[in-house]
Amino acid sequence: MALLEVRNLTVSFDTPDGTVHAVNGLSFDLDPGETLGLVGESGSGKTQTALAIMGLLAQNGRVSGSVVFRGQELLGMSPGELSRVRGSKISMIFQDPDSSLNPYLSIGDQLIEVLTHHRALRRREARARAIEMLGRVRLSDPEQRMRQYPHELSGGMCQRVMIAMALLCQPDLLIADEPTTALDVTVQSQINSLMGELSEKSSTAILLITHDLGVVAGLAHRVLVMYAGQEMEMAPVDDLFADPRHPYTEGLLNSVPRLDQVRSGILNAIPGNPPSLLELPTGCPFAGRCLYAWEQCRQLPEFEKIDEDRFKRCHLDALPTKRESA
Ligand SMILES: Nc1ncnc2c1ncn2[C@@H]1O[C@H](COP(=O)(O)OP(=O)(O)O)[C@@H](O)[C@H]1O
Ligand SMILES: [Mg+2]
């Protein structure tokens, strides 16, 4: 059984302008120990997917579908039950580490609080565990860090503290939403390799949310490409980079500067804009920007299995660029 089974997840927001359809029938599984990359341009519904899983949507949000975690349906759980699951079995790290840490508490007090609250450890044990974890995320001089406050640390250090905090309870699932986007490039790659290492050493599954395919290339086992709140393509990471099957994935790969040499694309943002989430097209949401759109794209394609472990939502049998070069 998968660790996390998301089925037909739908998130919408009531606003004065109408209903914003942020996530539109998303389904995916995540296995224990697996890292799944959730990618897509800004506004494609990645963060709202994460928040819906965690039961943390804004007041004006509505959610439907199903989120089963370790056999338990999370949608519709009482806030009390949900916060127990969240705190001990699911952890989340956000883009902005400064705003996630409490500015008035020392790093040590915050880490210790997590353990005394969720693991019922005594303070002394909790302290030892916290110091050990700060060492594991490679913060120098952990004992001194324990006494410091968030403003005394750099952004990269705060994000390490967040990772330490997220891992303290040995969660089964870590949801990391753009964990390195706010950091400078060298710190980004340090944090990324740290996450890769931690996922290898523990059996924590990671839902890695990012707009950056380069990050996914190094860390994810599988990738789910989202657009306008829907799945466009899902594939094992190497297959996706070597042989994208959806025009949107191809566009993303061509537009992202990447460190790896999987494909030497020219830097080219995909022209045009995503459709309004207030009024989604009835057909393929990407058709308006797709190089290969044709008559049939006025109908929404199914998200279909096209190969072992590969899925796509597109009427084309193969990408035309591939056919030409083949
Ligand atoms: N509380 C809200 N009210 C109305 N619209 C919202 C709210 N929260 C998010 N949205 C909209 O939902 C869409 C998806 O947002 P999000 O999941 O944050 O995108 P991503 O993380 O992929 O950049 C965006 O258009 C965003 O403006
Ligand atoms: Mg986001």
Give yes or no for residue 48 CB within 6 A of ligand 1.
Answer: yes
Distance CA 82, CA 55 (A): 7
Q: What is the pLDDT of residue 256?
A: 65
Q: How many domains does the chain fold into? A: 1
- Which residue from 9, 48, 277 has its CB within 8 A of the most atoms of ligand 1, so it is best to mutate? 48
213 in a structural domain: yes
Would 160 be classed as within a structural domain? no
Q: Which residues contact 84 (CB under 8 A, 6 or more apart)?
A: none
For residue 30, what are its two tokens? 């995540």
Q: Is the CB of 280 under 6 A from ligand 1?
A: no
Q: Report which protein residue has its CA nearest ligand 1's atom 3.
A: 13
**C-beta of 42 in contact with ligand 1 (< 6 A):** yes
CA 225, CA 144: separation in Å to the nearest integer? 42
Ligand 1 lined by 40 (C-beta under 6 Å): yes
Q: Whose CA is nearest to atom 27 of ligand 1?
A: 43
List all residues 6 or more positions away from 182 whose beta carbon is below 8 Å from its beta carbon: 95, 96, 97, 155, 159
The alpha carbon of 50 and the centre of ligand 1 are apart by a number of angstroms equal to 11
Which residues crowd ion ligand 2, with CB under 5 Å?
46-47
CA of 47 to the centre of ligand 2 (A): 4
CATH number at residue 182: 3.40.50.300
Q: What is the pLDDT of residue 193?
A: 86
**Amino acid 20: pLDDT:** 98
CA dist list (Å): 143 to 23, 135, 196: 43, 9, 25
Q: How far is CA 224 from CA 61, 106, 280, in A?
A: 23, 38, 21
Q: Is 192 in the pocket of ligand 1 (CB under 6 A)?
A: no
Identify the pLDDT of residue 266.
42
**What distance in Å separates the CA atoms of residue 11 and residue 21, rounded to the nearest whole number?**
6
H/E element holding 120? none
What are the angstrom distances between the C-alpha of 325 and each of 77, 107, 318, 319, 320?
52, 55, 12, 10, 9
The answer as to whether 105 is a domain residue is no
Q: Is residue 282 part of a domain?
A: yes
Ligand 1 center from residue 66 Cα (angstroms): 20
> What pLDDT score does 138 carry?
87
> 18 forms bridges with which residues in the sheet?
15
Positions of the chain with pLDDT lower than 70, given as ranges: 97-98, 256-268, 322-326
- E-state strands within 188-229: 205-210, 222-227
pLDDT at 42: 92
- Per the domain annotation, does 155 fall within a domain? no
Regarding the beta carbon of 326 and ligand 1, being less than 6 Å apart is answered no
Our answer on whether the CB atom of 20 is closer than 6 Å to any ligand 1 atom is yes
Per the structure block, which two tokens stand in for 316? 């084309």
The answer to whether residue 136 sits within a structural domain is: no
Strand 35-39 relative to strand 205-210, pairing:
parallel
Which structure tokens are listed for 170?
């040995």
On whether residue 23 sits in a domain, the answer given is: yes
Phi, psi dihedral angles at 294 (to 5 degrees):
-140, 180
Is 290 touching ligand 1 by the criterion CB < 6 Å? no
CA gap 274, 228 in Å, rounded:
7
Residue 254: inside a domain? yes
Owning domain of residue 298: 4-77+90-97+172-325
pLDDT in tens, 168-213: 888 999 999 998 887 888 888 888 888 888 788 888 999 999 988 8
3-state secondary structure (DSSP) of residue 295: helix
- Residue 52: predicted pLDDT: 96
